[in-house]
A = this chain, B = another copy of it.
Amino acid sequence: MELMPIVPIAGIVAVVFASYLAWDVLRRDTGTPEMREIGDIIFEAATAFLRRQYQTIAMLAIGAAVIVGVVLALLSPGTNPQEVGIRTAIAFLAGAAASALSGLIGMYVAVKSNVRTAAAAQHSLNDAITVSLRGGAVSGFSIVALSLLGVTGIYYLYGANPQTTPSAIVGFGFGASFVALFAQLGGGIYTKAADMGADLVGKIEAGIPEDDPRNAAVIADLVGDNVGDCAGRGADLFESTAAENIGAMILGVAIYLHTNNPVWVVFPLVIRAFGVFATMVGLLVVPLWGRMRPDPHEDPMNSLNWGYFVSVGLAVIFLYFAVDSMLHSMWFFWAGLVGIATSIAIVFITQYYTAGAWRPVREIAAASQTGPATTIVMGVAVGFETTASTAITVGAALLAAYGLGSQAAVEIGITASEAGLFGTAVATMGMLMTAAYVLAMDTFGPITDNANGIIEMAGAGGEAREITDRLDAVGNTTKALTKGYAMASAALAAFLLFGAYADEVKRLTGAATFSVDLTKVEVFVAALLAVMLVFLFSSLAIRAVSKTATAIIEEVRRQFRENPGIMAGTVKPDYARAVDITTRAGLREMILPGLLPIFASLAVGLTFKALHLDAAQAVGALLMVGTIAGIMLATVLNNGGGAWDNAKKFIEAGNLRDAAGNVLGKGTQAHAAAVVGDTVGDPFKDTAGPSLHVLVKLLSTITLVLAPLFV
C-alpha cells in the first residue's frame, strides 16, 4: 500500500505535463495567412461536428443512465437495490463525461497542432516532428490522466472499500464505453464517408489530385481525420484503460478476500501510475534522436521508435519494482512481461502485414495488374490470413500469463485459477503502461495528415510538402500500429474482463463456481448470436459509411455541375455545405449500430431468462464468443484495409513493375485497381474495425453492470 500515493501524483504530473505540452505547441508559429485560414476552417468545422455529436450522445447517455438506474433499482437482488441503481447511474454519467472530455481534448489540440506542424515543416523536419508528436502527446497524457484520476476518484468517492467498491464503480466503465462507441462510430463514419466521397468524386470522377481545393469535400475529409482518429480513438482508449483497470481491480478483490491485503485491488492503479512516468521520459527523449542523427534523410519512424523503446525499457524496470514491493511474487513480473512482449509482437505483425516491405502488400500490388477484382480478392485473402499470427500470439500470451500467474498460487495462498487470472490482468496492465506514448503516436497520424493537406491547399509546396509527405507516411504507420495495440489489449483484456464478470456472478449468486458450458443449448445459441452480432454490427457500420458517402458525392457533383467556375479554379466551392451534409448524415447513421450491442445483450439476457434458461451463462457466452469473433474480425478489417492502403502507396512510389520491367505507377490500370482496393479498405479499417474494439469492451462493461438482471 505504501506505493498508493504515487497514483494521484502521477495523475497530477500527467495533467501538468499535458498542459506544458499544450502551451508549448500553441505558442508556436501558425504559418502563412493561407495556412491559418484553412486551419481555422478545419477547426470550426471540427468543433461544429463535435458540438452536435456531443449533444446527440449526451441525450443518449442521459437516457441510458436513467434506464440503467431504474432497471437496476427495480430488479437488483440484495437489500438495497435503489442505492445500486443510483450509484451505477452516477458512475455511468461520470464515465461518460470523462470519456467525452478525452475525445474533446484530443481533438482540440490536434486541430491546433496541424497548422503549426505545417508551419514548422517550412523550416525543419525535426521541428515538424516535435510539434506533431507533442500535439499528439497532449491528447495521450490528458487521456491517461483522466482515466487514472477518474477511476481513483470514483473509487475513493464510493468508499474505497477493497471488497465492495470495485463492483460499485463498474458503471464508470460502462459510461466510458457507451460514449466511446458512439464517438468512434460517429467519427469513423464521418471520416471515411468524407474520404471515400472526396476520393470517388475527385480523384476518380473528376481526375483531380487528393486534397485539391476545387473539391468541395476536401475540408470535410480533413475534418474527418480529426473527429475520427483523434476524438474517436481518444474516447476509445480512455474507455479501454478505464474498463480494464476496473476489471483488474475486481479480480484483485477475490485475492483480497483470501489474503486480507488490499494491495491486490489497487495494484492495477499503481502500475498505470508508473506507466505515466515511463512514457513521459520516452516522449522527452524523442528529439535527442534527431540531434544524434542530423541526417535529413533519416526515417522519422526511427526517432519515434527510439522514444517508444525507452518507454518500454523503463516500464519493465518500474513493473519489476512495483511487483517486488507490492505483490512479493516475481511470477507476476513475468506475467507482466508477457503482456509487454505481446504488444511489441503485435506491432511487428501489423507492420509485416500492412507495410510495403514484405510479402502481403507486394502480393496485393501484384494482383492489381489483373484489375480491381483480383486486388480485392487478394486483399481479403491477406486480411483473413492475418488472424493466424494474431490469434496464435494472443493465445500463447494468455496461456503464458495465466500459467505464470498460477505458479504464485501456493506462496500467496490462493487458488491457481485466481492467481492465473490475476496473471492475465497484470499482463494487460503491463501492456497498458505505455498507453500514453502509443496514443501520442496515434494522434500524430491525423495531425501530420492534416498538415500535409493544409500545405497542399495553401499552395505552399516544395520542401515543406516533401517533409509533411514523409510525416504523413509515418503517420499512416503509427495509426496502423495503434490499431494493432488496441486490438492486442482488447484481446488480452477479454479474458480478464470475463473473469470479472464471472466474479460478479459468483458474488451475486453466492455460488462458489461459475462456468459457461458450451454443451448447454442456450450457451451454444448465445455463442451463435454473438458471432452474428459482430458481423451485423460491422455491416451496419460499413453501410453507414456508404450511405453518408453517397450523400457527399451527390453534393459535390451538384456543385461541379451548377457552378463550372469551381472546376476552372475561379470560384471556391461551398465547403461548409459539404461539411454540414456529412455531419448530419454521419450522426444519423451512428445511432443504429451504436444501440445494437446494448439491445442485443439485453434481449439475449432477458429472453433467455423468461424462457427459464440459464441467462447468466448465455450472456457470458455472448460476451466471450462475441469478444473473440470481434477481435478476429477487427484484425481482418484493420489489416486488410491497411494492406490495400499501402499497396496503393507501394505502386505510387514506383515499386511495381510488369513482366516487361516497366514501372506501373500513377495513371496505370494497376494503380486504378489499387485505388479501388484502398477505397474499399477505408470503411473497414477506420470505421468498422476500430468500432469493433469498442464493441467488445462495451459488451464487457454492459454485462458487468447488468449482471444482477441475469442471475
Chain A residues with CB under 8 Å of chain B are 196, 200, 204, 367, 370-374, 376-378, 380-385, 387-388, 390-392, 394-395, 398-399, 402-403, 420, 424, 491, 494-495, 498-499, 502, 514-519, 521-525, 527-529, 531-532, 535-536, 538-540, 542-543, 545-546, 549-550, 553, 611, 613, 620-621, 624-625, 628-629, 631-632, 636, 675-676, 679-680, 683-684
Contacts and interface: CB of A to CB of B under 8 A. Distances in A.
Nearest to A515: B517
Contacts of A540: 381, 385
B531 A628 contact: yes
Contacts of A631: 528
A578 to B, nearest CB: 16
Contact of A524 (B495, B525, B546, B679): B495
Given A373-B679, A373-B680, A536-B388, A527 B380 contact: no
Nearest to A388: B536
How many copies of this chain does the complex contain? 2
B399 A522 contact: yes
A542 B380 contact: yes
Contacts of A680: 373, 376-377, 380
A394 B528 contact: yes
Contact of A535 (B491, B498, B632): B632
B525 A399 contact: yes
Contacts of A679: 373-374, 377
Contacts of A620: 518-519
A498 B527 CA distance: 14
B536 A402 contact: no
Given A384-B539, A398-B528, A531-B531, 14 more contacts: A196-B373, A371-B676, A376-B680, A378-B543, A385-B536, A388-B536, A391-B531, A394-B528, A395-B525, A399-B611, A499-B519, A518-B523, A518-B625, A629-B632
A147 B366 CA distance: 45
Most buried by B among A514, A532, A546, A636: A532
B398 A542 contact: no
Given A521-B495, A542-B377, A527 B384 contact: no
Contact of A381 (B378, B529, B532, B543): B543
A380 to B, nearest CB: 6
